[in-house]
Amino acid sequence: MEPLLSSFVSLFAPVPFAFIFLGVFVGVVVGAIPGLSGAMVIALTLPLTFHMDSTNALVLLVAMYVGATSGGLISATLMRMPGTPAALMTVLDGFPMAKQGQPGRALGFGIMASFIGGLVSWVFLAGLAPPLAEIAVRFGPYEIFSITLVALMLISAVSEGSMLKGLLSGLLGVLVSMVGSDPASGAVRLTMGIADLDGGFRLLPVILGMLVLGQVVKDVVDIDQPIERLSASTRSMFMKFVDLRRQAVNLVRSSLIGTWIGILPGIGGTTAAIASYTTARSFSRHPEKFGKGCEDGIVAAETANNAAVNGALVPLITLGIPGSVIDVILLGALVIHDLTPGPLLFRDSPESAYGIIAAALIANVLMLLIMLVATPWFARLMYVSRAWLMPPIIVFCIIGAFSEGNRMFDVWVMLGFGVLGYAMMRARMSVGPFIIGYILAPIAEVQLRSGLMIYDGSFLPLLTRPVSLGFLLFAVITAFWPLLRRLFERGQTAPSIPDSSAE
Amino acid sequence: MPTPRKQRRHADIVAALLLIALGALVAWSSYSLPPPMLEPVGPAVFPRWTGLALMVLAALLLVGALRGLPAAQDAAAVVPVKAAPRNDLALATVVLTFAYVAAMELEWLGFRTATTGYVFIVMLLLTPTGQRLRQVPVATGTALLLGLGLHYLFTRFFYIDLPT
């Protein structure tokens, strides 16, 4: 408790507090603009933090994470376009409610739900992370290998679209991660004789290319799409106590769903929002109202996607395993600042570990205040032309890719991954599994090979060690879940989420 | 004009074939890696199995696409497509971006000049034709701000090197 309290005290100093405020502000702005996302702004900001104090850098990025996840609500409600992927489900009820003349109420519900989701999940983050880190220190290589296997299976199983394409995307990411020197023997792999690849593909060019440039190209392709826009009225924006009481069960349930899904490595806010929305509809006495401006839908989606933010920080700072794509970038930030992600973070750099936890709460409170006050102004930013946004984003990407290693080669790599990222989007292959596979595969390989060396080449401890076995079973169930579900549901019609594209 | 579903099938077939070829190439190249020394599993095992897994899964995708199976719900846009996609603009932007980077790599232009020119051209390219003339002052100002301002900001404030 004491390290956490002293982190709070230190973050209220002018400089770190200013960074948290700036992070939330920029995050909300970026989250509100369709075509930009939290992952983009955090990836673009990462190079700017190279020379910053590590704690300030981390709190800035965490604050952006919180802000961007919440900011997506604004364009989801007023433009029928999720500002960030996590706001996908908010569109279904936020926009219809706004169209019915209640944009302020829709926004108010979403903002309050985001705040409460963040608050509940923060309690889990603060309560779970330190003891989990202590337990995780005792994990051996096979336990960590099993956990990464679960993450790889999960991201493929729950990625948008078909599981097969999710697995393929993940495998591509795994493949890309293997380019360069083998971590154990130093043998050079898959470099095609290109000396610059001996060190492998650097993190920033891959992330900037796949997540940012690919999306930029897609946004240019879609530049002529007409966008319906509604004005943001602040009338009735503040959620009344009677509304809060009516939504209490939904808020708590959605917070728990979002937190739990966030904790599961490799998934993230979008899946949390989908799961929470469908659960709320299943439990609702009026499921027919969902998709037509139902408050419950907005609350369920926004509560869960914000709860997932703090939930995803749990595996990141305790195990060094990213809970979502954005956490991959945060993982990169830890590495760039010479911090060892995982259970040793609490021992070796407690100010950074507790700083992240404290910043998550402060950012959540600031998000509430900033969004309640400034949403009508943020809403105007949605009208910024893509012609103005795209060129600066591309320039920032080039600077970011160059800055990590001062090599133009990395810029070319980024451009190449940008083309690949767009090609994958065209092929309807989610990019998320690729990124997670790229990050997790080296961890999985190193841990498995270490385990084999320790146990004289035996795979048996994978099955005899209870934690490892538990996670392996989970991975197997996840891999076969779609097939199992089809067998169980044979002959039944599964309820489906209303297809907004048909409206 | 093929239907969207046919287009998706074609895209899946092309993607599957490319992935099978990639998987085969990776698996084949893993045999040129050294055998394990002092450890049970060497550097070749993971690339080999990844390549093989890629081939198997891509083959499943190919079979599904060839049989015309209903595509599993793909990552779909929330907003219905109402205007024609501007592939021409996207291609032009990509080509210009490659040219911009090449100009700096080959040291034909420095960062400031290259960035100013690139931003100016791309901003006008992405602006609807009827509005381009009106946007020239904005594009000029933005291009100069980015080209000169970013150079100053990154080199003098953040101490981050920039290309040339």
A contacts of B163 (beta carbons < 8 Å): 398, 402, 408, 411
* Ordered alpha helix ranges (H), A222-284: 241-246, 248-263, 269-283
Question: If you search the block for the tokens 């690919």, which residue do you land on?
Answer: A214
A426 → closest Cβ in B11, B37, B86: B11
Q: For residue B55, what pLDDT is reported?
A: 95
Closest residue in chain B to residue A228, using alpha carbons only:
B79
Q: Is residue B113 predicted with pLDDT exceeding 80?
A: yes
Note whether A91 contacts B19, CB cutoff 8 Å. no
Question: How far B41 CA lies from chain A's nearest CA (Å)?
Answer: 6
What pLDDT is recorded for position A151? 78
B33 vs A contacts (CB less than 8 Å)? 182, 187, 189
Rounded to 5 degrees, φ, ψ at A169 are -60, -45
Strand spans (E) along A199-358 = none
* pLDDT given at position B76: 45
Q: Using CA atoms, how far apart are residues B18 and B55, in angstroms rounded to an integer?
A: 10
Cα dist from B124 to A60, A389, B115, whole Å? 34, 12, 14
A193 contact B CB<8A = no
For chain A, the first-to-last Cα distance in angstroms comes to 51
pLDDT for A494: 44
Instruction: Indicate yes or no: CB of A428 within 8 angstroms of CB of B76.
Output: yes
Q: Which residue of A has its CA nearest to B14?
A: A427
- Its sign, for the CA torsion A152, A441, A164, B52, is negative
- Which among B43, B82, B89 has the least Cβ separation from residue A226? B82
Q: The pTM is what? A: 0.81
H runs (alpha helix) in chain B: 4-29, 45-66, 87-105, 111-126, 132-144, 150-152
Q: Which of residues 412-441 of A touch B (CB under 8 A)?
A: 412, 415, 419, 422, 425-430, 441
User: Chain A: residue nearest B44 by CA?
Assistant: A189
Q: Do A168 and B40 touch (CB under 8 A)?
A: no
- 3-state class of A237 per DSSP? coil
- Whether residues B75 and A425 touch (CB distance < 8 A) is answered with yes
Question: Which member of A47, A189, A500 has the closest CB to residue B47?
Answer: A189
Kindly determine whether residue B104 and residue A408, on different chains, have CB atoms separated by under 8 Å. Answer: yes
Mean pLDDT of B152-157: 83
Cβ within 8 Å, pair B97-A415: yes
B93, A390: Cβ pair inside 8 Å? yes
Identify the pLDDT of residue B2: 62
State how far the alpha carbon of B3 is from the alpha carbons of A221, A225, B7, B86, in Å: 19, 20, 6, 18
CB within 8 Å: A168 and B57: yes
**C-alpha pair distances (Å), A174 with each of A69, A201, A419:** 27, 12, 18
- How confident is residue B47, by pLDDT bands cut at 50, 70 and 90? very high
Closest residue in B to A498 (Cα–Cα): B78
Beta-carbon contacts of residue A164 (< 8 Å; ≥ 6 apart): B57, B60, B61, B64, B72
Collect all residues with Cβ–Cβ distance below 8 Å to A339 and sequence separation of at least 6: A54, A345, A348, A349, A352
Which chain A positions have a beta carbon within 8 Å of B81's beta carbon?
Answer: 222, 225
- The minimal CB distance from A430 to the residues B75, B78, B79 is found for B75
In tens, the pLDDT along B61-88 reads 999 888 876 554 444 444 455 678 889 9
Identity of the residue numbered A51: H
Distance from CA of B152 to the nearest CA of A (A): 13
Distance from CA of B126 to the nearest CA of A (A): 5
Contacts of B76 in chain A (CB under 8 A): 161, 428, 501
DSSP-derived 3-state class of residue A180: strand
Measured in angstroms, the CA of A311 and the nearest CA of chain B are apart by: 25
Q: Which positions in chain A touch B42 (Cβ < 8 Å)? A: 185, 187
**A406: which chain B residues are within 8 Å (Cβ-Cβ)?**
161
Q: Are A41 and A83 in contact (CB under 8 A)?
A: no
CB count in 10 Å sphere of residue B155: 13
What one-letter code names the amino acid at A477? I
Q: Which of A276, A259, A272, A248 has the alpha carbon at shortest distance from A126? A: A259
User: What burial class does residue A235 get, using C-beta atoms within 10 Å of its C-beta: 0-12 exposed, 13-18 middle, 19+ buried?
Assistant: exposed
Q: Which residues contact A128 (CB under 8 A, 6 or more apart)?
A: A263, A314, A318
Least Cα distance to B118 among B132, B136, B134, B103 occurs for B103
| pLDDT for position B83 | 77
Inter-chain residue contact B40 with A457, CB threshold 8 Å:
yes
Distance from CA of A268 to the nearest CA of B (A): 16
**The predicted structure's pLDDT at residue A228:** 65
CB A335 within 8 A of CB A322: no
- A353-370 burial string, b = 16+ CB within 10 Å, else e? bbbbbbbbbbbbbbbbeb
Take residue A445 and report the two structure tokens written for it: 């390989």
Contacts of A122 (CB under 8 A, 6+ apart): A310, A357, A360, A361, A364
Task: pLDDT tens for chain A, 503 residues: list them.
Answer: 788 888 888 899 999 999 999 999 999 988 888 777 788 889 888 888 888 888 999 999 999 999 999 998 988 888 777 777 778 888 888 888 888 888 888 899 999 999 999 999 999 999 988 888 888 878 888 888 888 888 777 766 665 567 788 889 999 999 999 999 888 788 889 888 888 888 889 888 998 899 888 888 988 998 887 766 666 665 666 777 888 888 999 999 999 999 988 888 767 788 888 889 988 988 888 888 888 889 999 999 999 999 999 999 998 888 888 878 788 889 888 888 888 888 888 888 888 899 999 999 999 999 999 998 888 877 777 677 878 888 998 998 898 888 878 899 999 999 999 999 999 988 888 888 898 888 888 888 988 988 888 888 888 888 888 888 888 888 787 777 666 666 666 655 444 443 333 33
Chain B environment of A179 (Cβ under 8 Å): none
d(C-alpha A95, C-alpha A230), whole Å: 9
Say which residue the tokens 């076995």 belong to: A469
How far is B62 from B51, CA to CA, in rounded Å? Answer: 16
Name chain A contacts of B115, Cβ cutoff 8 Å. Answer: 395
| DSSP 8-state symbol, A188 | E
Q: What is the dihedral sign for C-alpha A140, A142, A147, A151?
A: positive
**Residue A15 CA: distances (Å) to CA of A12, A68, A110, A361, B50:** 8, 21, 30, 17, 47
Tell me A378's DSSP state: H
Q: Which residues from chain A sit within 8 angstroms of residue B93, using beta carbons?
A: 217, 220, 390, 394
Residue A483: Cβ within 10 Å count? 10
Cβ distance of A453 and B50 shorter than 8 Å: no
How many beta carbons lie within 10 A of that of residue B1, not counting itself?
Answer: 5
Residue in chain B lying closest to A183 (CA): B43
CB contact under 8 A, A220 and B90: yes
Among B51, B126, B162, beta carbon nearest to A223: B126
| Torsion angle of C-alpha atoms A317, A308, A420, A216, degrees rounded to 10 | -110
Among residues A50, A39, A199, the alpha carbon closest in space to that of B161 is found at A50
Can you name the residues that pair with A180 across neighbouring β-strands? A189
- Average pLDDT rounded to a whole number, residues B123-147: 91
Tell me which residue of B96, B139, B30 sits closest to A187, measured CA to CA.
Answer: B30
Which residues in chain A (129-168) have CB-CB distances under 8 A to chain B? Answer: 159-165, 167-168
Assess contact for A104 and A233: CB atoms under 8 A: yes
Tokens of A501: 């594209």
> Is the separation of the CB atoms in A207 and A396 below 8 Å?
no
Q: Can you give the pLDDT at residue B23? A: 94
The number of CA neighbours under 13 Å toward the Cβ of B115 is: 26
Q: Tell me how far apart the alpha carbons of residues A58 and A70 are, in angstroms, rounded to a whole number.
A: 19
